[in-house]
Amino acid sequence: MLNAMTAKEVTKKILNNEPLFILDVRNEDAFADWKIEGASVKHKNIPYFDLMEGVEEILGDIPAENVLVVCAKEGSSVFVGEMLVEAGVKNVSYLKGGMKAWSEYLEPVKVADLADGGTLYQFVRIGKGCLSYLVESDGEAMIIDSTRMVDQYVSFIEEKGLKLVHVADTHLHADHISGGRLLREATNATYWLPPKDAEEVTFAYEKLEDGVEITVGSTKVTVQAIYSPGHTIGSTSFVVDDRFLLSGDILFVESIGRPDLAGKAEDWVADLRETLYARYKELSEELVVLPAHFGNMSEVGEGGLVAARLGDLFANNAGLNIEDEEEFRKLVSENLPPQPNAYQQIRELNMGKINPSDDEQRDMEIGPNRCAVHG
């Protein structure tokens, strides 16, 4: 019998370092661009069209049991999975919803209890590398850098008995579609955006500017905004509870942000260096950095949490240790990874200028996170 395995179940296996063998039946280029990753994961990529007449020839290349078949949307993996079962492979599963579902699943991870009451959570979009945050205190909540899968946040809020009062984006995102406006419309929460990133947006928002303090709950958990340009001209970080630095796409655990997704690489290099090498240097090294993305599974720690002490990043992150300014400029403006899929359309959508269908939005986001520059 062929089993269905959900994206949540796959995530749990990866975070628990359980062995997982994946037969990925997508085309070779799709597999090379983006796949399910993890320290305990092993892959075999054989395109579906090479298996249409049978799986006998590949039986020696895959385990005799415990195989997960993966495709783009589910159908092909079901077809191949059923053939594997008929061929005698035991405990065969397919990824329910395919890579589409993998891209959209959010794993809530508790970061910490807050000093004056409340809790900070990180939502790990493990298939895309996106990280978003929920601050809750005394029945109120704030979400930062929301993805478009707002139903998952709403379900979490309802389960906790919370009221969403604030939504914010650290910057105008180019690699994923923000759920900020949808959450505001669904809950009547206040939506905050950096005004320097919002000059072309078509909707109302509150200005997220340097020094703004946003209070969540009567216990006064304060989210303090810090202007930190470089990834975009308006990029703004948050300090939560005087302990956590939500760095947006400026600083990651193993890399730094890229300045080119609005076509302003040369103009924003100096801003990026100023933020990383001066503004962040003035902050306490004891702050725990919580970025808006991760690029490699090696950045995902115990229980799924992506975080690092700021002082440790200044010591170990290669992007924070380039003394020569010209070398830094070349790194972040010339030696860049491929740009995210449909990033220009994603920026326009996040400005409110276009309104694609749900399926079109899903296709726009397919692929890995590409917001980082690795030193």
DSSP readout, 330-368?
A: HHHHTSPPPPPTTHHHHHHHHHTS----HHHHHHHH-S-
CA 78 and chain centroid, separation = 28
CA distances (Å), origin 89, targets 48, 61, 280, 360: 18, 12, 54, 37
CA-wise closest residue to 255 among 191, 325, 306, 190: 306
CA distances from 119 to 136, 137, 248 (A): 5, 7, 19
71 has catalytic annotation: yes
Cβ contacts of 103 within 8 Å, gap of 6 or more: 125, 127, 128, 362, 365, 366
d(CA 210, CA 169): 14
Cα distances (Å, whole numbers) of residue 318 to 255, 301, 312: 7, 19, 11
Burial class of 357 by CB neighbour count within 10 A (0 to 12, 13 to 18, 19+): exposed
How far, in Å, are 179, 251, 312, 335 from residue 323 at the CA level? Answer: 38, 17, 17, 17
Residue 148, CA atoms < 13 Å, CB-side half-sphere: 22
- The first and second tokens of residue 155, run together, are 């379900």
- Find out whether 304 and 125 touch, Cβ atoms under 8 Å: no
* SS3 call for 373: strand
Q: Which of 2, 20, 22, 71 is catalytic?
A: 71
Q: Give the active site residues.
A: 71
